[in-house]
Amino acid sequence: MTKIHATALLVAASPILASTAQAEEVNLYSYRQPELVAPLVEAFTEATGIDVNVAFLEQGMVERLKAEGMRSPADLVLTVDIARLSAIVDAGVTQAVDDAVLEESVPANLRDPEGHWWALTTRARIVYASKERVGPEEVTTYEDLADPKWEGRICMRSGTHPYNVALTAAYLHHHGEEATKTWLTGLKNNLARKPQGNDRAQVRAIWASECDLSIGNTYYLGKMLADPEQKEWADSVNPVFPVFEEGGAHVNVSGIAMTKAAPNRENAIKFMEFMVSPEAQEIYAEVNYEYPVAPGAEPAPLVAGWGDFTVDPVDLAELAALRPDALRLVEEVDFDG
């Protein structure tokens, strides 16, 4: 268990406690890494005097919250990907939050219609294109990726990975089931190798001339540029922001939700409001190269330098509902086979 104060990150010897006697604190379960969360909660504590106790989890958040029930010490959960946010809500371990500050700061398509989860940042799922072997404007849409001209030239991670399932769900939303199955088949035929590795591994493959295009989240480019061992990979590609025909670039989110138990509900709401403030939005965007959701908050200069793009306006709650069908289609075409 980790307890984060305004001035230090301390490892506590025992789990966080749900005692209502512990005033001026808020308890958070997080799938996000400590180095991303620390500057945010330290800024919150400095601004409010409220301590934040953080349990960093690698997996099993839903199971843990269900087992704890109304005895859970957690007030909030912090995670990434619409799939995880939806799974937490579907498990019945969250509560709706009706808050004017959140409603003003988070666009309607980036939050749960009932107020159970709220996006904090977005990341676009884009194309990384070889600077040497792919010319400007050669790929402009997600639909283009199934064009036979890319045969043997695309690298991807598993089609069943949540990031790619979300992209497939977006394609399904725009084009329907048959067209999506055809697209997945065409995309599979264009792969240079079986899906493998993570998003960074695909950029490395482009650098190594194993392929010319890959699909990945925007923030990985910032992370690779900041890593001396990976900067050369990142320097070998251009970030390309494709769009859906008659749509925009697909985005996913990091987000926050209040647990059903929430023993420190008022402090939890203060933390949620802080997380959509311009200060927190810019801290969050800076440390992980993501895009703020709140109006007026600016992305990091490096991220802004990648250029403006049109965000697909689809409601992410709709995409969450389509994910089971999207996964089924990925498996039907044996995408990873």
Break the chain into its structural domains and give their ranges.
2-122+252-304, 125-250+310-332
Tens-place pLDDT, residues 118-166: 999 999 999 999 999 999 999 999 999 999 999 999 999 999 999 999 9
How large is the average pLDDT for residues 197-214? 98
DSSP state of 306: T
Residue 311 pLDDT: 95
Q: Specify whether the CB–CB gap between 300 and 226 falls below 8 A.
A: no
Which secondary-structure segment (H or E) carries 320?
Answer: helix 316-332
Structure tokens at 59: 């997996």
Mean pLDDT of the chain: 92
The reply to whether domains 2-122+252-304 and 125-250+310-332 share a CATH topology is yes
Q: What is the pLDDT of residue 35?
A: 86
Q: For the chain, give the number of residues.
A: 337
**Domain 125-250+310-332 part of CATH 3.30.360.10:** no
| 51-105 pLDDT, tens digit each | 999 999 989 999 999 999 999 999 999 999 998 999 999 999 999 999 999 999 9
pLDDT at 296: 87
Question: Within 10 Å of residue 62's Cβ, how many Cβ atoms?
Answer: 17
Question: Does domain 2-122+252-304 sit in CATH 3.40.109.10?
Answer: no
DSSP label of 246: T
Q: Is 238 exposed, middle or buried (0-12, 13-18, 19+ CB in 10 A)?
A: middle
pLDDT tier at 23, thresholds 50, 70, 90:
low
User: What is the share, in percent, of the chain residues with pLDDT greater than 90?
Assistant: 88
Q: What integer is the mean pLDDT of 211-225?
A: 97
- Among 10-14, 62-66, 264-268, 310-314, the minimum mean pLDDT is found in 10-14
Average pLDDT of the segment spanning 270-290: 94
**Tokens matching residue 131:** 């600077």
For residue 285, what pLDDT is reported? 86
Nearest of 57, 58, 238, 207 to residue 140 by alpha carbon: 238
For tokens 């035929």, the residue is 189
Per residue in 293-326, pLDDT (tens digit) is 998 899 999 999 999 999 999 999 999 999 999 9
